[in-house]
Amino acid sequence: MNSLNLSYLRQLEAESIEIMREVAAEFKNPVMLYSVGKDSSVMVRLAQKAFYPGSIPFPLMHVDTGYKFPEMYTFRDEFCKKIDVRLIVEKNEEWIARGCHPLKMGVDKCCSYLKTGALLQALAKHGFDAAIGGARREEEKSRAKERVFSLRDAFGQWDPKNQRPELWDTYNTKINDGESMRIFPLSNWTEKDIWEYIKLEQIPVVPIYFAREREVVEHNGILIPVSASLPGPDEMPGNTVRGKTKKITCRFRSLGCIPCTGAIASRAVTFDEIIAEVRAATKSERENRVIDLTSDSSMEQKKKEGYF
Amino acid sequence: MPTGEKSLLRFVTTGSVDDGKSTLIGRLLYETKSIYDDQYQAIEKSSKKKGLKEVELAYLLDGLAAEREQGITIDVAYRYFETAKRKFIITDSPGHVQYTKNMVTGASKADCAVILIDARNGVLTQSRRHGFLISLLQIPHLIVAVNKMDLVDYSQDVFSRIAEDYMDFSQKLDIHDIVFIPVSALKGDNVAVKSKKMPWYEGATLLHNLENLNVSADRNLVDFRFPVQYVIRPHANFRGFAGKIVSGTIAPSEEVAILPSGKTTSVKSIITYDGELKEAFAPQSVVLTLSDEVDVSRGDLIVRKKNLPAIESSLEAIICWMDDEPMTPEMSYIMKHTTRFVRASVKNIVYKIDVNTLHRQPADTFSLNDIGRVEIKLAVPIFFDPYKMNHATGRFILIDPLTNKTVAAGMIRGAERHVEDYVAGVAADDAKQKKSPHAVWRDLNITLAEREKQSGHRAVVLWFTGLSGSGKSTIAMELERRLFECGCRTAMLDGDIVRHGLCSDLGFSPADRKENIRRAGEVAKILFENGNIVLCTFISPFKEDRSIVRSLFPEGRFIEIHVDCDIEECRRRDPNGLYKKAESGLIKAFTGLSSPYEPPEKPELVIHTKNADIAGCVNALEQYLKDEFKLKIFKNG
């Protein structure tokens, strides 16, 4: 390649940086949603690049359910401290206190309160008019229809049948009072791209993406890790050691809440091994996410209600 | 190739209903191993639920519940796959519902378009419409995939006929790279694997074409344009300007100008998180620092001092209307152009284009999916290049200030021009583009408007085309006599006469014929600019040559008259004995006999001379000039 050509990763990078700068320039009070996963790690790096040598001009916000892996909380706090960024953590305390749990009330309802509800509450509480998220079009079929700048009404709802046309890189950033914008700078990235970029840039990620021996329990065909520290009743998967637990070498391909996130059998312990595994994968990245499997249009429904 | 160095290709797929577009995309994803088992199982489940015998690959693409329920595609969807050489982004644009809006949206960022044609149906109106939109958006590469070849017995004839039909149509468009590929998406022929069923096809597969298209050459690396997105000020001693280089290249110490202030300075450094750069180019996102303390803010444009864009507050553009609410002319919309927002109103609709026939028609407003040419007035000037020269600075969107909806997409043609400006403006531009060395353009002493005011009539070019012996010169001479007697300023330019002097060095090969017509066109232009009614009589057998001449003149000032007479009658008349000479072999490449004549498709006027008398023909012409050109000079009776 000659010196005036950009590789596709650098093209994706340039596009994402352009998008973040548009957000910072056009919105009064933007925020970047930070979910601690690999996509969030990449987004933070892109934001550092977009505003270098200045610092990231918006805070990160983690909408926490309380059900995340302990390694995620540790990583989050250390990572954010190191890069000098303001981190906001929000929870739907009311519903967590009432014992909201996927097995008790169903996955859809639990997500609706602890993720969608908490997100909308937090956005309203801080008066954020723009929220940058790490969703990618490749992840899921309704996300494939998503714009880069996606308008939400006063209730945070997405209207997929009535989206603004999005032309070239000329983004329409205008909103009326009460409305807000969701922005997806990673729209055109795939899981492979994310890992290639993490490797290229040596970006730190949560260690549970790498394989090691873990104790798991099988629930509805999904390998749920056993965790002693998880809040909630004992009979719930992940909390019990009474069920048929087994020890296998595994890793997590995408991260969510413990009761709803399955591990995959894997021996990948380096970036290259993960990339090779992703390349050879016959199942999609969200195969182990219970949230997407409840019905054919479960993600679309959640997005319409305000989820990412 | 290490993955990090792969290149990127964005392409849009379009086609009519049921031409197998989803199957083709499904096939590409399948062959490149980009469909996951669980995704496949999910659509398998949906297909079964619907009672379908086979798995409907289209479900993979229809992401919304409403789409799967109704079996239609509502909105543009994006798909990703990669091969050893490239990463691909497919924009899947629905073919029927709201086709124009979606197709323009989907195609706007594409490097290449793939149009599907069903081999059984041939070139349909939709295939032409898609081609037109691709040409309008200036997508540099077009691949026409003739699909369902398995259903026409892999017939070479069927394929060749469709390719010829489409090639013929595409002559009217501004598309320079077209490839035709016979495929069967269902069976996989020529998609990723070369078909054994079509040994007659010597070209490469669709995937091979997509992998090997050279798109890096499509970028504009000449005109440096840097719209400032954001000012970075971490502390009092640093001011950097963040943005994306949308075209061109830049290096430290190069002299630049800031628009609109017009202040000049030079680039001090190009800063990135990964270190300072010695050179940066499109489409990199960087931060520039400048040598002097000049005022720069978001919306400003940084350019090279000696390579400036146009700066205008009135412009002409092609727009595509995308809102359910029709356009309100004169209403103040918000234009987003590069990183600026400017108030803009549509002052005049020049014409609307019927996307099916490509005919231009007058219009009072634009409704959803309408496309056409308009004049736009801006509250303050913007800095732009014509879209054709530079996509990034030649495009814009219009936003409704009340609803904030994106109501239109626009592509700038240039500054708004009227015929009064014509001689001074366009002529000077044209001359700049293709001039002899050392020739200096001088504006005419007396403008066309002044000349027309004095003569009392508008200048025009009447271009007579037709076979030798059809009666072009006879009719033109009689018409000129009548115009002259009414006091008009006229000039006659006859094919035979120019070939004796101006073009005596030219023969009758296609290249020489082209040059002959080019010279005639240029002379006609000078005569026109001097206020004349110019009558040109040239066989001018090739459509392309005539359309080049037409492009030299403002809209409505070039009237093409097809003098039509069958070849037998012309041969019988043979006023100069040329047919006899041609038949005896003395003249090679004689139009109508051994060289083709391409009749005009949409001439302003056709005159049939076979059984007509001269006066009748000239009367028809006179009537046309009175009625359509509004020439008021003729005496009554």
Q: What is the pLDDT of residue B435?
A: 42
**How far is C-alpha A229 from the geometric centre of its chain's CA atoms?**
23
B154 and B278 both lie in a single domain: no
Q: Decide if A161 and B64 are in contact by the 8 Å CB cutoff.
A: yes
Q: Residue B368: is its pLDDT beyond 80?
A: yes
In a domain, B132, yes or no: yes
**Residue B318 maps to a domain:** yes
Minimal Cβ distance to B46: which of A7, A176, A296: A296
Amino acid at A7: S
Query: Mean pLDDT across the stretch B494-523?
Result: 85
From the list B38, B232, B243, the residue facing A51 with the nearest CB is B232
What does residue B184 show for φ and ψ, rounded to 5 degrees? -130, 105
Looking at the structure of chain B, the number of domains it has is: 4
Give pLDDT tens digits for B312-352: 899 999 999 999 999 988 889 999 999 999 999 999 999 99
Does A91 lie at the interface with B, CB-CB under 8 angstroms? Answer: no
B14 contacts B103 by C-beta, under 8 angstroms: yes
What is the model's pLDDT at position B636? 47
Contact at CB, B60 and A141, closer than 8 angstroms: yes
Q: What is the pLDDT of residue B439?
A: 45
- Does one domain contain both B7 and B115? yes
Amino acid letter for position A123: L
Q: Which of B273, B339, B396 sits opposite A52 (nearest CB)?
A: B273
Q: Please judge whether A21 and B229 are an interchain contact, meaning their C-beta atoms are less than 8 angstroms apart.
A: yes
Q: How far is B352 from chain A (nearest CA, A)?
A: 21
Which residues does chain B have within 8 Å of residue A163's beta carbon, measured at their own beta carbons?
A: 75
Cβ atoms within 10 Å, residue B359: 11
Chain B residues near residue A158 by CB distance under 8 angstroms: none
Buried (b) or exposed (e) across B305-314, using 16+ Cβ within 10 A?
eeeebbebee
Residues of B in contact with A196 (CB under 8 A): 3-4
Whether residue B180 sits in one domain with residue B242: no
B-chain residues near A30 (CB < 8 A): none
Q: Quick one: average pLDDT of B588-613? A: 86
Residue B117: closest CA among B88, B159, B82, B145 = B145
Question: Residue B404 sits in a domain of what CATH number?
Answer: 2.40.30.10
What integer best gives the mean pLDDT of chain A?
Answer: 84
Q: Which domain holds residue B490?
A: 451-627
Last residue of a domain, one of B274, B304, B334: B304
Q: Which residue type is seen at B483?
A: L
Who has greater pLDDT, B95 or B315? B315
B24 shares its domain with B156: yes
Domain ranges of chain A: 8-202+297-305, 207-290
Measured between beta carbons, the chain A residues lying within 8 angstroms of B298 are 25
What integer is the mean pLDDT of B153-180?
90
Is the confidence at residue B464, as pLDDT, over 90?
yes
Model ipTM?
Answer: 0.88
Q: Is the pLDDT of residue A1 over 70?
A: no
Which of A2, A5, A8, A271 to mutate to probe the B interface, most B CBs <10 Å?
A8
pLDDT, average across residues B282-304: 94
Instruction: Write down the pLDDT at residue B44.
Output: 78
Residue B33, in any domain of the structure = yes
Tokens coding B169:
């149509």
Indicate if the pLDDT at residue A231 is higher than 60.
no
Average pLDDT, chain B: 86
Q: Which pLDDT belongs to residue B60? A: 67
pLDDT in tens, B132-164: 889 989 998 999 999 999 999 999 999 999 999
The answer to whether residue A82 neighbours chain B at the CB level (below 8 Å) is no
Residues of chain A with C-beta less than 8 angstroms from the C-beta of B404: 172, 174-176, 179
Distance to chain B for A183, nearest Cα, Å: 16
Average pLDDT over residues A273-294: 74
Looking at the structure, do residues B233 and B206 belong to the same domain, yes or no?
no
- Co-location of B39 and B134 in the same domain: yes
Residues of B in contact with A142 (CB under 8 A): 63-64
Task: Considering only the beta carbons, identify the residue of B37, B403, B404 that sits closest to A283.
Answer: B37
Task: Find chain A residues with C-beta within 8 A of B399's C-beta.
Answer: 172, 174
Are B384 and B469 in the same domain? no
B359, part of any domain: yes
Q: Is A292 on the interface with B (CB under 8 A)?
A: no
Mean of pLDDT values over B343-371: 90
Q: In this complex, which of B63, B74, B86 lies closest to A141 when CB atoms are compared?
A: B63
Residue B43, domain CATH: 3.40.50.300
What digits encode the pLDDT tens for the residues B425-461? Answer: 444 444 444 444 344 445 567 888 888 888 889 899 9
Q: Are residues B591 and B612 in the same domain?
A: yes
Query: What's the rounded Cα separation, in Å, for the pair B189 and B154?
Result: 10
Any idea which of B170-179, B400-409, B424-433 has the lowest mean pLDDT? B424-433
- Looking at domain A8-202+297-305, which CATH architecture does it have? 3-Layer(aba) Sandwich (3.40)
Using CB atoms, pick whichever of B46, B66, B232 lies closest to residue A161. B66
Contact between chains at B64 and A145 (C-beta distance less than 8 A): yes
Name the pLDDT band for A289 (thresholds 50, 70, 90): low
Same domain membership, residue B324 and residue B295? no
In the chain, the amino acid numbered A146 is: E
The answer to whether A49 faces chain B, any CB pair under 8 Å, is: yes
Residue B362 has a CB neighbour count (10 Å cut-off) of: 9
Range of weakest confidence among A44-58, B210-224, B294-308: B210-224
Report the pLDDT value the prediction gives residue A258, as an integer from 0 to 100: 76
pLDDT higher than 60, residue A5:
yes
Question: Mind listing the pLDDT tens digit for each residue in A123-132?
Answer: 999 999 999 9
Amino acid at B284: Q
CB contact under 8 A, B80 and A200: no
> Which of B218, B236, B269 corresponds to the end of one domain?
B218
Write down the pLDDT at residue A240.
Answer: 44
For the residues B537-564, what does the mean pLDDT come to?
A: 89
